[in-house]
Structures are given as C-alpha cells and as structure tokens.
Chain A
Amino acid sequence: MSTIKVTNVSHPSAASPAIVLDADGDATYAGVHDFSAATVTGAPQGLVLVTPTSIANSGGSASVSGGAVTLTGVTSVSLNGVFTSTYQNYSIVANITNSDATKVNFRLRLGGTDNTGNYRTAYAYTSSATGWTVNQINPDSYGQLGWATTVPSLIVANFANPQSASETQGSHTSSAAPGAPTVGMFLFSFRKDDSNQYDGITIYPLSGNSTGTIRVYGYQNS
C-alpha cells in the first residue's frame, strides 16, 4: 500500500487549506467541522449512565428509557443491577417532586431484596424558614437520600463501594429542606458498615408519592 504525503488538504476553490497536518500527525481544521456522525472508540470516560437490569415499583407507574427511570406517583421504586464491579463510585441524580414535603429514603438491595440494617446517617440542613439543624441517626433500618417538596427538587447522592465486599459510604445533597418555602439546603453523609455486595437500591418518600426522573451514573475508574 502506497502513502500520499501532504501537509495541506484543500478544496479546489478554497483560498486556504481546510486541514493542515503537522509533522506529528496533528490536524488543524478550519471553518465548521462536522463530526456529528463520528464514532468515538475506546472506553467511555467520566460519568457513564448505568441502565438497571430491572425495576420494581409500588403505586403509580415507572418506566426506563435511555437509562433514565421515569416515575409517576410511586410510593417506592427499586433499581436492580445498577451497582457492579465495573465502577467503585456512583452518582444518583434524582429530579423529584413529592406529593408531600418529606424525606426521600433508600435501602440498598442484594439479589432483589432490600437490606434493612446498619444505616448510619449524619445530616445538617437550613432553609429560608429555619436555622441550621444537625442530627445523626445511628443506626436505622434505612438511609436518607435527601428531601423533596411539592415543587421540583434535586437530589444528588454519591455512593462509594456498594458492590465491593467492604462497607459502603455516601455523601448526598438536596435542594430542598424542611420548612423551606423558597429554598433550602440539606447535606447528608452515610455509612453502612457491612461487607454485603449490593447490586441495587430502593428509593421511596417517607410519606406520599414521588414523580420525576432518576439516573444512576458510574464514575469511570481510570
């Protein structure tokens, strides 16, 4: 196979080259670049959307499309097969509106069954209506993912090591807090000191039901 060696690639009617190659093979592109149909090879980097292998919901309805779990009026939703050995760290992003202003709790799952032991939580919150409140629950039968109200609320929950044979840690924030008519801040940290290798999570409001979208992302290890 022969090789054509060029430094500039240009359309016949163009005044200047569209592509300029340097000695290292780096290409500089002029004008508008259309990479809309390009395929990127290799492992995806950064956050990778994880699609559950199955879901289960109580009350209302739930569906999965493109990795996003959409909820309408559910009293609980379980996401199975989201934690694997592929990733050490995960981020759960929940855009939720609750029928009641209340906690959004979680339980880690193993083989399709909720685990109800040793959830250790510390939290602090403030809002436009209250000063700072701090507390800890040590232990309880559930963990706290965040707080959601009757207006759209954001919960971002980070988990480390749910699928490894060591304890699981978490660090969560939510945009809503108790007594927050306008804006609130709710911070959580979480530990579950057992060696179960969890593969899923159940998320549920303390009372009422939830509507919105939940996405689980894995942090690429390297």
Chain B
Amino acid sequence: MADVIETDLTTDPPTITERDFTPEEQAQREADIAAALAAEVEHAAAIAAETQAKTDAIEHAKSLGFTDEMINVMYPNLVP
C-alpha cells in the first residue's frame, strides 16, 4: 500500500494518485514518531509525579490525624 494518497478535486471525477513518502517526508515522519514517543514518556512521568504528590499529601494529612472524609472536605477529589 502506498504511503500517500493524493486526490485532485479540480478534475471531474477527482484524480487519485498513490505514491510513497519523499525522503524529506520520510525523515519528518520518523522525527514526528520520535517526538510522539518522547511526549508519551514525558506525559507518563508527569502523571506519575502528580499521583505521587497526591499520595504524599494524603499520607501527611493522615499523619496529622485527618480522616479521608476530613481531607476530602478540605481538598475535594484528593482522596480517590
């Protein structure tokens, strides 16, 4: 299957051409895939950090004697 399907809408019926990526398009695509993977890792790290921060906050509040109900009153949705 070709990489790119081009449809020229100025003809009737439309003219459809199939081709592979140009070297420039292929290089850009590989760079985009690498960027997507990096973003995925970054996003996962951000979620993990946020989850850890919530866990730490809950543990700290409980060490001070607060219950889940009291924590949820002060910080809605903090306790899952």
Contact = CB atoms under 8 A, between A and B. Distances in A.
B7 interface: yes
A28 interface: no
B73 interface: no
B7 A114 contact: no
Interface of A: 51-58, 61-64, 102-103, 114, 116, 130, 141-142, 178-179, 204, 206-207
A34 B32 CA distance: 54
24 contacts: A51-B9, A53-B10, A54-B8, A55-B6, A56-B5, A56-B6, A58-B4, A58-B21, A63-B7, A64-B7, A64-B9, A64-B14, A102-B36, A103-B39, A114-B25, A114-B28, A130-B50, A178-B43, A179-B47, A206-B32, A206-B35, A206-B36, A207-B33, A207-B36
Nearest to A53: B10
A54 B10 contact: yes
Contacts of B57: none
Given A130-B50, A178-B43, A179-B47, A57 B9 contact: no
Interface of B: 3-10, 14, 21, 25, 28, 31-33, 35-36, 39-40, 43, 47, 50
Contact of A54 (B7, B35, B36, B50): B7
Given A114-B28, A141-B31, A56 B40 contact: no
A162 B6 CA distance: 22
Contacts of A179: 47
Contacts, number: 49
Q: Is the interface of B mostly helix, strand, loop or mixed?
A: helix
Given A55-B6, A141-B28, 7 more contacts: A54-B9, A56-B5, A56-B7, A58-B4, A58-B5, A102-B36, A103-B39
A56 B4 contact: yes
B9 to A, nearest CB: 6
A61 B39 contact: no
A64 B14 CA distance: 10
Contacts of B3: 58
A141 B34 CA distance: 13
A220 B4 CA distance: 33
Contacts of B32: 142, 204, 206
Contact of B9 (A53, A130, A206): A53
Contacts of A142: 32
A179 B46 CA distance: 11
Contacts of B43: 178
B40 A207 contact: yes
Contacts of B39: 103, 206
Given A52-B9, A114-B28, A57 B36 contact: no
B7 A62 contact: yes
Contacts of B10: 53-54
